[in-house]
Amino acid sequence: MRRCSYFPKDVTVFDKDDKSEPIRVLVTGAAGQIAYSLLYSIGNGSVFGKDQPIILVLLDITPMMGVLDGVLMELQDCALPLLKDVIATDKEEVAFKDLDVAILVGSMPRREGMERKDLLKANVKIFKSQGAALDKYAKKSVKVIVVGNPANTNCLTASKSAPSIPKENFSCLTRLDHNRAKAQIALKLGVTANDVKNVIIWGNHSSTQYPDVNHAKVKLQGKEVGVYEALKDDSWLKGEFVTTVQQRGAAVIKARKLSSAMSAAKAICDHVRDIWFGTPEGEFVSMGVISDGNSYGVPDDLLYSFPVVIKNKTWKFVEGLPINDFSREKMDLTAKELTEEKESAFEFLSSA
């Protein structure tokens, strides 16, 4: 374990009455490229607020500890006043202790020639172990955000392996897809992404996800109008728009020869900030959460992306949105894929 602390060990940094007790935040896969784009934003107050001190815990596999030392040095060199301690480790019992927030970025990447079931099997092992470590060492109030793919099923695996932590505390990242959908609409209409709200990503963070703008609004000349009404191009919205968002990750890899990192890190920040501070009034966001009790006909016990609102660090489904036949078909298709993934994962889970 390596650490960098900005204070001598015998100095009391916080009074007991101090409201700004540091929170303990873990990032796994911390030597990877997404984490490299993410850690500065966490450390500079962009996620948890400009007055929230942080103890940042970095976990990676043993062969990456040399690289992680370099990341540790850079974080020291940023001289960020909110970072009270940075701990780099390859041990789960150190990494998961007393956590307030766990951002699980690390996972087994898909290699050439690897079947999806092989990928699932490798990741079930990782997320079963990390779920068990959360169960054993973390606070029961910990918020767990899974980024590593296949994110939905990895998140469900971690949750099932941490029975003492409420399943509502687990979510997976579909905010990158949500942001991609917002950006595509904004580009098409010549407005900023901030002028577009209430797009939805339904389902799996995979190419079956369904980006839905039936309920989205855009601000045009100071007035809010529905996206369908503003664009007047149903064939684009039901065709090219959907496939562009679904396949955007692959397009980035093709162009960059590397997967999305800067945009993924930004989406993680958005997702975690909304959990921490809540969603703005009148707006909802997309997040992979446990499907139990939803009103949209999605089977229970799936980790499925829904539109949610968040208040007091607790999410709720956005209820009562009408679903047309086109949407129904797409939502069912991605639920079917998630059910199949879950069944495969649970076979491996029982034998892992």
Closest C-alpha among 134, 152, 133, 129 to residue 144: 134
* CATH node for 172-340: 3.90.110.10
Query: How confident is the model over 245-267, as a mean pLDDT?
Result: 94
Residues of each annotated binding site for NAD(+): 60, 123, 147-149
Whether the per-residue pLDDT at 329 is higher than 50: the answer is yes
Residue of higher predicted confidence among 16 and 128: 128
pLDDT in tens, 162-188: 999 999 999 999 999 999 999 999 999
Residue 256 pLDDT grade (very low, low, confident, very high; cuts 50, 70, 90): very high
SS3 (DSSP) at 217:
strand
Residue of higher predicted confidence among 4 and 288: 288
Query: How confident is the model over 321-345, as a mean pLDDT?
Result: 97
Torsion angle, CA of 250/148/298/212, rounded to 10 degrees? -40
Residues of each annotated binding site for substrate: 110, 116, 149, 180
d(CA 224, CA 10): 57
d(CA 53, CA 35): 19
178, 205, 215, 271: the catalytic one is 205
What secondary structure letter does DSSP report for 11?
S
How would you class 150 by CB atoms within 10 Å of its CB: exposed for 0-12, middle for 13-18, buried for 19 or more?
buried
Residue of higher predicted confidence among 111 and 49: 49
- For residue 271, indicate whether it is catalytic: no
pLDDT in tens, 31-68: 999 999 999 999 999 999 999 999 999 999 999 999 99
Whether the per-residue pLDDT at 113 is higher than 80: the answer is no
Residue 110 pLDDT grade (very low, low, confident, very high; cuts 50, 70, 90): confident
SS3 (DSSP) at 26:
strand
Whether the per-residue pLDDT at 4 is higher than 90: the answer is no
pLDDT in tens, 195-229: 999 999 999 999 999 999 999 999 999 999 999 99
Query: How confident is the model over 311-336, as a mean pLDDT?
Result: 98
Q: What pLDDT score was predicted for residue 13?
A: 37
d(CA 224, CA 304): 29
d(CA 120, CA 268): 22
Whether the per-residue pLDDT at 19 is higher than 80: the answer is no
Whole-number CA gyration radius for the chain: 20
**Class of the CATH domain delimited by 21-106+119-170:** alpha beta
Q: Which helix (H) or strand (E) holds 172?
A: strand 170-172
Task: Say if CB 218 and CB 189 are below 8 A apart.
Answer: yes
Whether the per-residue pLDDT at 10 is higher than 50: the answer is no
> Is the pTM value of this prediction over 0.85?
yes
Q: Where are the domains of the chain?
A: 21-106+119-170, 172-340
Q: What pLDDT score was predicted for residue 7?
A: 35
Percent of the chain predicted with pLDDT > 70: 94
Mean per-residue pLDDT over the chain, rounded = 93
